[in-house]
Amino acid sequence: MKKITAIYRRLAMLLVLMGTALSAFAQINTDQVVNIGRNALYFEDYILAIQYFNQAIKAKPFLAEPYFYRSVAKISLEDYGGAEQDAGMAIERNPFIVDAYQVRGVARQNLGNFKGAVEDYDAGLQLMPEDKNLLINRAICQSALNNYEEAQQSFDRLLSLDRRNDRAYIGLAQMNLARKDTVVALENLNKGIELNKNNATAYVMRAEIASRTNRDFESALADMDSAILLEPRFAGYFINRAFMKYNLDDYFGAMADYDYALSLEPTSVEAHFNRGLLRAEVGDNNKAITDFDYVLKSNPANFMALYNRALLHMRTGQFREAVKDFTAILKKYPEFEAGYMARGEAKRRMGDYKGGDADYERAMAIFRRNKTHVSTFNPAEIEATAAIKKAEQRVLNGNDEPETAEEIINRFNTLLTVTETDPVKPEYANRQRGHIQNDNIEVEPMPMFTLSYYAQDNKLNGNTHITREIADANDSRLLPGKLTLVSGEPQLGEEEIQRHFSNIEYYNSLLSMGKPRSIDYFARGLDYLLVKNPDAAIADVDAAIALSPEFTLAYVLRADAHFMQYRMAQARDNSEGEQLSDATDAKVHTMMRQRQDIAALDLVIADLDQVIKLSPKNVYAHYNKGNAYMLQGDYTAAISSYSTAIQLKPDLAEAYYNRGLLYLRLGNKTLGVADLSKAGELGVLPSYNILKRMTR
């Protein structure tokens, strides 16, 4: 659906012309670094490209080109905030790079800053008045600002330069739909399809007009078939086509389309919800409940899914679950008489006649107060009307209303996939290699840094993690391997595991003879930890600390061991909790586990505090404290620890990433997106997946 825009065609020429502007210098060959980055851009390896441009910018921050190229990489990853900033830096250094204005304009357009985007497109058009891409992007932004006359002038200028520009006609159709002129919009789409029969978006828009405005589902279905032939891997098209098949009474075909949409995009809440409705209609009640369960797990605030599930629980005799659902409904709508009647019936079916009678009396009281005998209150209709009004307001405004903190938190926690609604959105993505922001990446924080002999270099930015104490230990040559810090636990093979058991035997013999040394207890403790024996590791570290109370690395290792104990206890408790059938027992178990978790993490924090006392600039101790506080639910303390780590080491990508996640959990989208953008710039790949979902 998305096309590679003219910027890439011109970029090939820019890559050649601008290469000569970079000169070599003493520390690194800047020209070579930028050339490699440009090659990575060409092959769509955007993450790798960013790392090379980082090096060039660090070496020669006065050059414009590395900032420009990095902005292209970021916008390809849908990091629009980062792209806007980098393009601005390029413009500050060289105001004559036309494509820098275009990149910044596109970034602003995707961020909803249409006024700023128009300013950039105007600046670009002053330098290159006949640039077709700048013209169409400006026209779309002007339309979004409801400046329809100016938008029409931009479209007219574009068509005077290129009468066969099908994207211009699609843009005109979008503008005319916003103006409620479906007749002219349909003419625009017909012309666009006449010029280019391979533009799936035009078929989708025409199908929308046919189904929503004219109720002509047969024509709409034919257009959706054409769109799917052109883009058979886009789940949203199958969801749309299922709607049309449903209205043509082809329930089997609609169900098949929902199933296929979910095979393409298993996380599609829209597909689960719609399939649940269809399953309920055909009497497949239990499977319908399963679909609504998924929807509510992703978005507990989805009232329509809750309401439908409540009805299905009643229909299938699951009265206890029905009572729970209706209770949640009545909490939001306490005047819903039929809700009390339904909940009362469910309670009576469970044998709770007293509770059932109480609900019946509450319903009767509402009837008497309203002087009616029939329920006229329909919460489903209220929810649907509110949703329609909100959608209409968004169309009218040209962009989304500002999100509340609660909405940001909810969207972050659910990360729903949303179908594209802008038919000429100026993106450079072409669904090929390099677009890691499209991967379904589980949202998990970056793990703690732990001591290890197995270095895990970040191949994107070349960073290895080491402290002064680690360097001193390695220089002493008293350990069986070269010590380092790794983020997470490496998976050891059989040979490595056997080597650690051999080391343990060696230290057993050594410590049983002669005078024991703290370094020997430390070394054996690390071997124990690497073979997942934290209890023995802690015993050895305790012995090491008793001999050398200021042995900083021993406190680091003990914190690692306590954290491993915590993780093992979590796994154990989760398994035991799943076996508890009684709700009261499960609740007690959960409360006890929470207390134990906090106590276990307190031990980790205490050791890290000791590390910081002995080595105040130990950035990894501050970072690990942030992780421990986050697990305890103390997000404010966690953010403070991450901020300290970033002050000590401004390129610690993991700290930006985790702090960004916490900001989003707290509803601060601005700071969260900024941190994730920085983390992505520094090589944390999952950042771009979250940025894409949070900036839609």
What integer pLDDT is reported at residue 441 of this predicted model?
A: 42
Q: Is pLDDT of 577 > 60?
A: no
Residues 398 and 519 in one domain: no
pLDDT value at residue 589: 52
CA-CA distance, 9 to 24, in Å (whole number)? Answer: 28
Q: Is the pLDDT of residue 695 over 70?
A: no
Supply the pLDDT for residue 338: 81
- DSSP class of 617: T
Judged on CB neighbours under 10 Å (0-12, 13-18, 19+), 403 is middle
For tokens 């978790």, the residue is 597
Separation of first and last alpha carbons in the chain: 17
DSSP state of 312: H
Give me the mean pLDDT over the 573-593 stretch. Answer: 52
Side-chain-side CA neighbours of 472 within 13 Å: the count stands at 7
Answer whether residue 441 is part of any domain. no
The secondary structure of 221-260 as a DSSP string is HHHHHHHHHH-TT-HHHHHHHHHHHHHTT-HHHHHHHHHH
The domain boundary, picked from 128, 158, 178, lies at 128
**Cβ-contact 84, 107 below 8 angstroms:** yes
CB 553 within 8 A of CB 451: yes
Q: Spell out the residues 6+ positions from residue 344 whose beta carbon is closer than 8 angstroms to its own.
A: 355, 356, 357, 358, 359, 360, 363
Instruction: Say what the pLDDT of residue 371 is.
Output: 74
Give the number of other CB atoms < 10 A from CB of residue 281.
Answer: 11
Q: Does residue 432 belong to any structural domain of this protein? A: no
Q: What is the pLDDT of residue 439?
A: 43
The model's pLDDT over 597-654, given as tens digits with 9 standing for 90+, comes to 778 899 999 999 999 999 999 999 999 999 999 999 899 999 999 999 999 999 999 9
How much is the pLDDT for 52? Answer: 82
- How many domains does the chain fold into? 3
Q: In which region does residue 22 sit, left (phi positive, over 0), alpha (psi from -120 to 50) or beta (all else)?
A: beta
Count the alpha carbons within 13 Å of 113 in the hemisphere toward its beta carbon.
15
Residue scoring higher pLDDT (4 or 567): 567
450 contacts 489 by C-beta, under 8 angstroms: yes
pLDDT tens per residue across span 263-317? 999 989 889 999 999 999 999 999 999 999 999 998 887 888 898 899 999 999 9
Token pair in block for residue 592: 């006890």
Specify the 3-state DSSP secondary structure of 578: helix
Which pLDDT tens digit goes with each residue over 404-437? 555 544 444 433 223 344 566 564 332 223 444 5
Amino acid found at 295 = V
Residue 430: its pLDDT value, please?
A: 29
CA–CA distance, 21 with 438 (Å, rounded to integer):
34
- Show the tokens assigned to 453: 């002999």
> What is the distance between the alpha carbons of residues 108 and 111, in angstroms, rounded to a whole number?
5
pLDDT, position 575: 47
The answer to whether 503 touches 529, Cβ cutoff 8 Å, is no
Mean pLDDT across 159-165: 94
Same domain as 460, residue 404:
no
Highest mean pLDDT among 117-126, 395-404, 406-415, 528-537: 117-126
Quick one: average pLDDT of 514-535? 90
> Of 239, 615, 171, nearest to 424 (Cα)?
171
Indicate whether 682 belongs to any domain.
Answer: yes
Instruction: Count the alpha carbons within 13 Å of 265 in the hemisphere toward its beta carbon.
Output: 22
Spatial separation of the C-alpha atoms in residues 184 and 190, rounded to whole Å: 10
Residue in the structure block whose two tokens are 């993450």 = 47
Q: For the chain, give the mean pLDDT.
A: 83
Residue 118 belongs to a domain: yes
Amino acid in position 21: A
Same domain, 677 and 560: yes
Identify which of 382, 238, 245 has the alpha carbon closest to the alpha carbon of residue 303. 382
- Lowest mean pLDDT across 2-16, 87-101, 483-497: 2-16
| In a domain? residue 164 | no
Domain that holds residue 570: 449-694
What CATH number is associated with residue 468? 1.25.40.10
* pLDDT tops 70 at residue 192: yes
- 521 and 409 share a domain? no
> Within this chain, do residues 385 and 475 fall inside the same structural domain, yes or no?
no
Alpha helices, DSSP H only, in 433-493?
468-476
Q: Do both 358 and 484 map to the same domain?
A: no
φ and ψ of 460, to 5 deg:
-85, -45
Task: Give the model's confidence band at 373: pLDDT under 50 very low, under 70 low, under 90 confident, else very high.
Answer: low
438 pLDDT above the threshold of 50: no
Residue 550 maps to a domain: yes
Backbone angles phi, psi at 669, to 5 degrees: -65, -40
Give CA–CA dist 140/3, Å, rounded.
16
Residue 28: CB atoms within 10 Å:
14
pLDDT band at 547 (very low <50, low <70, confident <90, very high): very high
Which neighbouring-strand residues pair with 451?
Answer: 485
**Quick check: helix, strand or coil at residue 140?**
helix
Q: Determine the average pLDDT of the residues in 462-491.
A: 86
Helix pair angle (405-414, 653-665), 10° resolution? 120
Beta carbons within 8 Å of 266's beta carbon, 6+ residues apart: none
Q: What is the residue type of 8? A: Y
Identify whether residues 481 and 537 lie together within a single domain: yes
Whether residue 486 is contained in a domain is answered as yes
pLDDT of residue 411: 42
Tell me what percent of the residues of the chain surpass a pLDDT of 90.
55
Whether residue 53 is predicted with pLDDT greater than 50 in this model: the reply is: yes
DSSP string, 367-421: HHHHT-SS----HHHHHHHHHHHHHHHHHHHTSPPPPPHHHHHHHHHH-------
Q: Where are the alpha helices (DSSP H) in 531-582?
A: 534-547, 552-578
**Domain termination residue (choose one: 414, 441, 467):** 414
Same domain, 501 and 548: yes
Q: What is the per-residue pLDDT for 141? A: 94
| Shared-domain flag, residues 680 and 563 | yes
Which residues are CB-neighbours of 625 under 8 A, at least 6 positions away? 605, 608, 609, 612, 638, 641
- Residues 624 and 477 reside in one and the same domain: yes
Q: Is there a single domain that holds both residue 575 and residue 478? A: yes
Rg (CA), the chain: 30
pTM of this structure: 0.67
Tens digit of pLDDT for each residue in 219-248?
999 999 999 999 888 999 999 999 999 989
**Would the pLDDT of 16 be above 70?**
no
Q: Are 620 and 564 in a shared domain?
A: yes
Establish if 248 belongs to a structural domain: no
End-of-domain residue from the set 128, 153, 184: 128
* Cβ 693 vs Cβ 662: under 8 Å: no
What burial letters (b/e) apply to 639-653, b meaning 16+ CB within 10 Å? bbbbebbbebbeebb
Going by C-beta distance under 8 Å and a sequence separation of 6 or more, which residues neighbour residue 154?
A: 135, 136, 138, 139, 142
Question: Model confidence over 134-161: pLDDT tens digits?
Answer: 999 999 999 999 999 999 999 999 999 9
